[in-house]
Structure 1
Amino acid sequence: MAGALVETLSTKKLLAVFVGFILLEIGFIILAKVKAPISTMAIVQSAVTCIDNKSQDWILPETCKYMVLDPENHQETISHQGPDDNPTHDPNNVVFAAVLPKKIVEMSRWFQYMLTLAVFKIPYNPQLEVAPDAVATLDIRLAYSNNKDFYKLPKSWQSVVNSTQERPLECVFEHPKTDEYKGFHYNCDPLFILQLGSLPHKHYLINIRLPVNKANPKISPNMKIGQVTEIDFVSITQTGGFTKIWISLKVALCTIMIFPLIWYWRRVTALARPALLIEKAIFGLALGMEFLNIPLELVTIFSDASWMLLFTDIRQGLFYALIFIFWVIFTGEHLMDQAHRNKLSSYKWQLGCITVSCLAFLGFELGERGTQLVNPTATMWQHPNLALALLVCGCIAGVLYFLLLCYLVFRVFRSIRFKRRFVLPTERTAHFQSIVNRFRMLMLLSAGTAGLTVAFFILQQKLEGMMNHYLPEDYEFNMASGFFTGVYGLWNIYVFLVLSLYAPSHKLYITSDLDNGDHSSSNGVATEQVQLMQMTQEKPRED
């Protein structure tokens, strides 16, 4: 980019800038390690298996009749405070009830969200095996209460959702299927139950039934899932301490980033020419970063904002799109022998891949988060073919974008090697080498940012429930706080660095060897681009 500050800063100053930003990045990581607790936590608790005659009341674990399993003959019996005259029961009357979180703990708005998974405990029984194509039909009811004595007042619960959902049940029996191992449990994958985008209430009650149709057992639901005796719930939330650090960090960065953003655009608009494509790309990237910095999470502290998860994903997706667009334009505009520079149409294939990938992932998010605004128990994976199609389409477009970007980078470095074949004056050679080294340094920083961004995305998907193993009761879902704050800080540092180094310089450039004798001034005309393009007119070195 012609006339940028990156050309005028001395090597010492540039190194000082990079060292300062590295120390700042280390500070972001240390901040979370010292001040913030773990970013997420898992609350694991077993549901109470209750008996209810299809009443419409909410079934509370503390007051219901409950079913226990006889460890000797693995027969189901009913037990409660007194003797039971009728130990038989209808499977349709079995309710798995749990209060989230546990009775001694209250939910907090600072927890931001709650993702709840269920793990079925199914003992092996040769007569009731889990089929390979088993599908669990769940009658899920969710309610909330803000009353301290909720376990004594069933009427204090207010309904949130009442929905019937189907979930593929994948279980593996890790022992030989013989009578010796009868009663040993299957190892079953967790099932998605619900996700709440905000937690404005103190207690949540889950009632789950597994209905069957005895009249038509061949077409009845839940006839292939074996004998479910217990259900463990795993509720994943963000810790309140980390939320406070996260919001404080966003408030600080949102305020700080306003100043370089305004300063950069004032420098661009002060020029006597229209803004270049790369300057617009830098400004768009900075706007996207500032939009992501706005601490809108504060809304969930003061109101019920169940839409916050969807909105956060859209904001983050917008930033991803802008940074991908910037990388393409930044790389392409340094390709001096490109025929059509400073035109968005020159990058139509890369932009097409970005558009397809973003639309595919947006469609998946709207199908997942959007439906959860109405029904928290819904999931995009109820339509696995559509969900897989969107994800595969988005990933393929992303891979194509990456290959096209790598090809651009290859062409840039090939062009640089070609320019070195020409004999130049010593001063111009030093200037050219300085520009090349600084370009390489920023490309290295871009590669590091890209790598950590991909890792951040993958860990987020893991956090959202893509887990393939059971979480034991003493397990803490510990996503490193330092990694979150480190990546987020790196994004801001990267954008700040680009704004600072690629802002138009007001210093005077003189290139006396130009054919027309023009002098480049503070408007940024004819510096790096003209000099490097003139190299092709010089005589090549003799071998």
Structure 2
Amino acid sequence: MAGTVLENLSSRKLAVLISFLLACQAICFLIGGLVAPVPANVQTILGTVCKDTSKDKNDTTKWFYVRGNGKCESIDLANVQLGHDLSEADIVFAFQMPTPREGEFFDYSRWQQNLIGVLLMDIRYHSAMEVKSHSIVTIDARLAYRNKEDPEDAWKLYKQSVETRNLDCDIDVKTEGYLYNCTTVPLFELGSLYHDYYLLNIRLPVDTKEMNTHIGHIQDIWLTVINQNGGFTQVWLSLKTAFFPCIVGLLIWFWNRIHLLQRKPVLLEEMLFALGIALCVLDMPIEYLTLHFDLPFMLLLSDVRQGFFYASLFSFWLVFSGEHMLIQEVRAKSTLRKYWRHLSAVLLGCVSLFIFDMCERGIQLRNPFYSIWVTELGTNLALSFIILAGISTGMYFMFLSYMVWQVFLNISQKRQSMPAMSSVRRLHYEGIIYRFNFLMLATLICAAMTVIGFILGQVAEGQWKWDDNIELEYTSAFFTGVYGMWNIYIIALLVLYAPSHKKWPVNENTSDTQNLSEEIEFNKMPAERSEISSLTSFITKPAVD
């Protein structure tokens, strides 16, 4: 039996291969730490308070801004008595993005990919206008854009929407003039940063239905805008451009090696090939299209691609452990149906997160000001999907941990029969054990880093959307290192688990009868699985013919 490359590759060549892959992994970390800038840029903009004296407040062709030939009669709300000098309907908060840096005006680059806007309100304490806890603020938000070649006043409407947001404020000292401590208010999320300049005008409408009557006296509004760093995007796409053809070429080579054996691929090989396809989908650098086209669905598409990769990776780990455990007797070829209980947890978690993403970013394709968290029904629905995904993840890791434990338990049992073997055969199987243990250790490290990376990514996004007071430093080295680890780990699996065309030589000093009896005693297997690698047959619990 030929076996896999992992078994038949010489120790020297295997050491060279592992050293090369570890060097690539180190390079991925160094690129993120030494070359790539921070993943995201954050700018905080103080809104300019403009006076709107027009009669038609719904005119979306009139914009208020300051720079250039700005059309804004600026006022200071700290020195204005609302109701006497002007009404709330006459106030417009204007924000121009991006802000100047070091006295120079900059424009957004399409390399920066996306834009998120979060509001923070400065509300001054007044004994006659105290802010109620868990207030609802209604925002009339209008977003416009223009490009560098357009005139300064040629703002075009991007989207207008009237939205409600939850506002929670408290104050330590109730003294006139003191500011409340208020939570941040997520406002918009753009999945594409296609234009050069953006303008946001905000009104806080008041009507007879007590709209915005319990939010106190607003003195200023701050807008925090977060976008992906263009330099980080260039480094990220460079890694994708480098890995993508390597994975495609390796997949073609892997599948050709299987078909040269003149047999159907076994389940482990099929799952490994499917994992390689999922990695190709993730590596495909389609972000280059955003440099020429306005693709607001790119954020949602990125989430779907990453979710598909996670589902494939988690499913492969279950099959990878199960095919090397086989605690039940197997009389026929393994199929994916055998793992339906384990894979149902993966499917449930992925479907839950997909529905949640479609309810959030799917609707944001039509209305970038939409948020599922602003209503009680939407919040309960979102939390339900997130909790369901969390339960599924916990069940998955319980299954995976149990199966990995069973794998090492079976290996330990197999070691007990090794002293009765000839020295050559014993050394051969000991080498297989050490190589497999190293591969399982790499699998566990990859799983841990994947989970940590997913959690950190969610916390990084959530601290702006849900006002989480968590201070973490997210370095580019970690993101590029984990991404490189996925590619290097799967490259190693495709290379090491490809069918080998070498055959293990028989020891001339040992009779064929002795070798045959040891082979039958050590790894009895059904005929249907005899073509799988001797690594799998070695650590598999045999089925009685």
Question: Is this a same-fold pair by TM over 0.5?
Answer: yes
SS in 2 for 1:390: helix
Q: 1:60 aligns with which of 57, 62, 65?
A: 65
| Greater Cα offset, 424-433 or 484-493 | 424-433
1:197–1:306 CA contact under 8 A, matched in 2: yes
Q: Deviations over 1:368-425 (max 9, x none)?
A: 1111111111122231011111111111111111111111111112222222333530
| TM-superposed deviation, 1:32 | 2.7
Q: Identify the residue that residue 209 of structure 1 maps to in structure 2.
A: 203
Q: 1:284 to 1:101 in 2, by over 3 A?
A: same
**Partner secondary structure for residue 119 of structure 2:** strand
1:453: which partner in 2? 450
2:274 maps to which of 271, 280, 284: 284
What secondary structure is seen at the aligned counterpart in 2 of 1:258?
helix
CA distance in 1, matches of 2:118, 2:271: 42
Which residue does the alignment assign to 2:31? Answer: 31
2:503 maps to which residue?
508
d(CA) in 2 for partners of 1:534, 1:353: 26
- For 1:47 and 1:222, locate their aligned partners in 2 and report how far apart those are by CA, in whole Å: 19
Distance of 1:9 and 1:256 partners within structure 2:
21
Q: Deviations over 1:351-380 (max 9, x none)?
A: 100000000000111111111111111122
Q: Distance in 2 between matches of 1:450 and 1:150?
A: 52
User: Which of 281, 289, 292 is the aligned partner of 1:302?
Assistant: 292
User: How many angstroms apart in 1 are the aligned matches of 2:441 and 2:268?
Assistant: 19
TM-score between the two structures when normalised by the length of structure 2: 0.87
Matching residue of 1:311: 301
Q: Does the 8 A contact of 2:142 with 2:159 survive in 1? A: yes
2:70 is the counterpart of 1:98? no
Query: Partners in 2 of 1:396 and 1:435 — Cα distance?
Result: 36
**1:370 corresponding residue in structure 2:** 362
Q: Gapped runs of 5+ residues in structure 2?
A: 507-511
Distance 1:242 1:58 in 2: 33
Give how far 1:14 is off: 2.6
SS at match of 2:261: coil
Q: Is residue 356 of structure 1 aligned with residue 348 of structure 2? A: yes
In 1, the alpha carbon distance for the partners of 2:345 and 2:541 equals 34
| 1:14 equivalent in structure 2 | 14
Counterpart CA distance in 1 for 2:535 and 2:260 is 20
Distance 1:23 1:433 in 2: 27
Match in the other structure for 1:395: 390
Q: What's the CA shift string for 1:461-508, capped at 9, x where partnerless? A: 23434336599xxx9x97422222111111110010000101011111
Task: Quote the Cα distance in structure 2 between the aligned partners of 1:290 and 1:169.
Answer: 43
Correspondences of 1:217-366 after superposition (within 5 Å) = 220-340=210-330, 342-366=334-358
CA contact (8 A) 2:329 2:543 kept: no
1:444 has 2:441 as partner:
yes
**RMSD after superposition:** 2.8
Q: Aligned in 2, Cα 1:333/1:535: closer, same or farther, shift over 3 Å?
A: closer
How far the C-alpha of 1:438 sits from its partner, in A, is: 1.9
**CA gap 1:11/1:536 in 2 versus in 1, 3 angstroms:** farther
Structure 1, residues 402-453: CA drift from partner, whole Å, max 9, x if none?
1111111111122222223335303343333322222221121112212222
Q: Provide the residue aligned with 2:479 in structure 1.
A: 484
Cα distance 1:533–1:246, how it changes in 2: closer, same or farther (>3 A)? closer
Cα 1:526–1:248 change in 2 (3 A) is closer
Distance in 2 (CA, whole Å) between partners of 1:533 and 1:510 is 22
Contact 1:40/1:478 (8 A) holds in 2: no
- Counterparts of 1:15-164 in structure 2, within 5 Å, are 15-53=15-53, 54=57, 56=59, 57-61=62-66, 62-70=70-78, 75-76=79-80, 88-102=85-99, 104-147=105-148, 151=152, 153=153, 156-164=154-162
| Partners of 2:410 and 2:540 within 8 A in 1 | no
Please give the per-residue CA displacement for 1:18-69, whole angstroms capped at 9, x wherever unaligned.
2221221111121233322222111111011122142512222442123314
* Residue 313 (structure 1) shift: 0.8
| Contact 1:115–1:465 (Cα < 8 Å) also in 2 | no
Q: Which secondary structure does the structure 2 equivalent of 1:514 belong to? A: helix
8 Å CA contact 2:145, 2:199 repeated in 1: yes
Identity of aligned residues (%): 34
Q: Which amino acid aligns with 1:267?
A: R
The CA distance in 2 between the partners of 1:532 and 1:499, in whole Å, is 20
Whether the 8 Å CA contact 2:8–2:503 is kept in 1: the answer is no
* Partners of 2:411 and 2:196 in 1: CA distance: 62
| TM-aligned CA deviation for residue 223 of structure 1 | 2.3
Q: Map of 1:366-445 to 2, 5 A cutoff?
A: 366-382=358-374, 383-422=378-417, 423-425=419-421, 426-445=423-442
Question: Is the contact between residue 325 and residue 539 of structure 2 (CA under 8 Å) also seen in structure 1?
Answer: no
- The Cα shift of 1:92 comes to 2.2
Structure 1 spans left out of the alignment, 5+ residues: 79-85, 538-543
CA drift of 1:278 comes to 0.3
The 2-side partners of 1:299 and 1:162 are apart by 27
- In 2 relative to 1, CA 469–168 (structure 1 residues): closer, same or farther, beyond 3 Å? closer
User: 1:113–1:198: 8 Å Cα contact kept in structure 2?
Assistant: yes
* Contact 2:411/2:539, CA 8 A, preserved across alignment: no
**Is the alpha carbon distance of 1:141 and 1:7 closer, same or farther for their aligned partners in structure 2, counting shifts above 3 Å?**
same
List per-residue Cα deviations over 1:159-203 (Å, max 9, x = no partner).
111111111112232x233x3xx3222222221111111112111
Q: 1:377 to 1:221 in 2, by over 3 A?
A: same
Q: 1:146 to 1:77 in 2, by over 3 A?
A: farther
- Tell me whether 418-427 or 162-171 shows the greater mean CA deviation: 418-427
* Partner Cα separation in structure 1 for residue 535 and residue 262 of structure 2: 18
3-state SS of paired residue (1:143): strand
Output the CA distance in 2 between the equivalents of 1:478 and 1:44: 19
Structure 1 residue 530 displacement after superposition: 4.3
Name the CA distance, whole Å, in 2 between partners of 1:231 and 1:284.
50
